[in-house]
C-alpha cells in the first residue's frame, strides 16, 4: 500500500482530536496522521503530542499562530510530502468528514489523481445545518462553478484525497487564499493541470463539539478569488 498521510488542521479542537485520531487510524493500519496545530490556546497541540507518543503513527506540526486554513494546509501538505507521503487525505477534525469514507478514497486513488468528497453530487447531503447556511453554501458553489467553469459539484469542500505526483505538479504552495477559498483554488489548479478527478458523495455532519471557524471575511475572500482565478488563468499567470 502507498504510504498515506491524513492531514488534519486544528485550532481549539481539544474536544475532538482525541476522538477523531483513533477513528482515522483504525480505518487502515498503514495510515499515518499529521496534525497541523496553530498554537491552540485550549491545549490541542499538547494533546496531539501525547497521541503521537502513544500511537507512533501521529506526527505534529506546531505553528506559531493562527494564520488561516489555507496557510495551515500549505504548511501541512509540504510537511507530509517531506515525510514521504505518496497519498494525502485532507479532512477536518470535527467529524464533519466521516473517517469511514477514507478507505474508499484510498481505493479510488489507485485510478485517479484526486478524489473529492462531495456534499452536492447526489442532491444535498448535509445534516444539521440551518437552512440559511445550506443555501449559502449550495448557491456559493453554484456561483463558483459559473465563474470558474469548474466541472465539480462541491468546489469548497475540504474532504479530499490526492496523489503525491499531482500535488507536486500544481504548485500548491503558491496558492494565495487562506480561507475556504483555498479549496476552490486548489481544485482549480487540479483541473488546470488535467488531473483525473473522482467525486465521492458523503454525508456532511455539522460539528457537535467546539466552535465553527467560519467568518464573514472567509466568505468574502471566496467571492473575489474565483474572479482572480479566471483572470489569472486567462493571462497565463496562474
pLDDT per residue over 84-96, tens digit each? 999 999 999 999 9
What pLDDT is stored for residue 221 in this prediction?
Answer: 67
* 98 vs 92: CA distance, rounded Å: 9
Q: Does domain 4-137+157-173+190-208 have CATH number 3.90.550.10?
A: yes
Arithmetic mean of pLDDT, 129-143: 88
pLDDT of residue 93: 95
The mean pLDDT of 141-150, rounded to a whole number, is: 94
Average pLDDT over residues 77-85: 98
Helix (H) or strand (E) holding 237: none
Neighbours of 136 (CB within 10 A): 14
Nearest alpha carbon to residue 7 among 112, 153, 162: 162
* Residue 39: pLDDT band with limits 50, 70, 90: very high
pLDDT of residue 214: 52
Q: pLDDT category, 104, cuts 50, 70, 90?
A: very high
CA 236 to centroid of chain Cα atoms: 26
What would you measure as the largest C-alpha separation in the chain, in angstroms?
50
Which single residue is written with the C-alpha cell 489523481?
113
How confident is the model over 128-133, as a mean pLDDT? 86
Mean of the per-residue pLDDT values of the chain = 91
Cα–Cα distance for residue pair 123/126, rounded to 1 Å = 9
Beta strand pairing status for 58-62 and 32-37? parallel
Over residues 113-123, the pLDDT tens digits come to 999 999 999 99
pLDDT-derived band at 200 (thresholds 50, 70, 90) equals very high
The answer for residues whose C-beta is within 8 angstroms of residue 26's C-beta and 6 or more apart is 99
pLDDT at 208 over 80: no
Task: For residue range 42-64, list pLDDT tens digits in order.
Answer: 999 999 999 999 999 999 999 99
Amino acid at each position: 500500500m502507498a504510504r498515506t498521510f491524513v492531514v488534519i488542521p486544528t485550532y481549539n479542537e481539544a474536544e475532538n482530536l482525541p476522538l477523531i485520531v483513533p477513528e482515522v487510524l483504525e480505518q487502515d493500519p498503514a495510515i499515518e496522521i499529521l496534525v497541523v496545530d496553530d498554537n491552540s490556546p485550549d491545549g490541542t497541540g499538547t494533546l496531539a503530542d501525547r497521541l503521537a507518543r502513544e500511537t507512533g503513527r501521529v506526527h505534529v506540526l506546531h505553528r506559531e499562530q493562527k494564520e488561516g486554513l489555507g496557510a495551515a494546509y500549505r504548511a501541512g501538505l509540504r510537511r507530509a510530502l517531506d515525510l514521504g507521503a505518496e497519498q494525502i487525505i485532507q479532512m477536518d477534525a470535527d467529524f464533519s468528514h466521516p473517517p469511514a469514507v477514507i478507505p474508499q478514497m484510498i481505493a479510488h486513488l489507485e485510478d485517479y489523481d484526486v478524489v473529492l468528497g462531495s456534499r452536492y453530487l447526489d442532491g444535498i447531503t448535509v445534516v444539521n445545518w440551518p437552512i440559511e447556511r445550506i443555501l449559502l453554501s449550495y448557491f456559493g458553489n453554484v456561483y463558483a462553478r459559473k465563474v470558474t467553469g469548474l466541472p465539480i459539484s462541491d468546489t469548497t469542500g475540504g474532504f479530499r484525497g490526492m496523489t503525491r505526483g499531482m500535488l507536486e505538479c500544481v504548485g500548491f504552495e503558491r496558492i494565495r487564499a487562506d480561507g475556504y477559498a483555498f479549496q476552490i483554488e486548489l481544485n482549480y489548479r487540479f483541473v488546470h493541470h488535467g488531473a483525473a478527478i473522482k467525486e465521492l458523495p458523503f454525508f456532511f455532519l455539522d460539528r457537535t463539539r467546539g466552535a465553527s471557524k467560519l467568518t464573514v471575511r472567509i466568505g468574502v475572500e471566496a467571492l473575489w478569488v474565483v474572479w482572480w482565478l479566471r483572470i489569472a488563468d486567462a493571462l497565463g499567470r496562474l
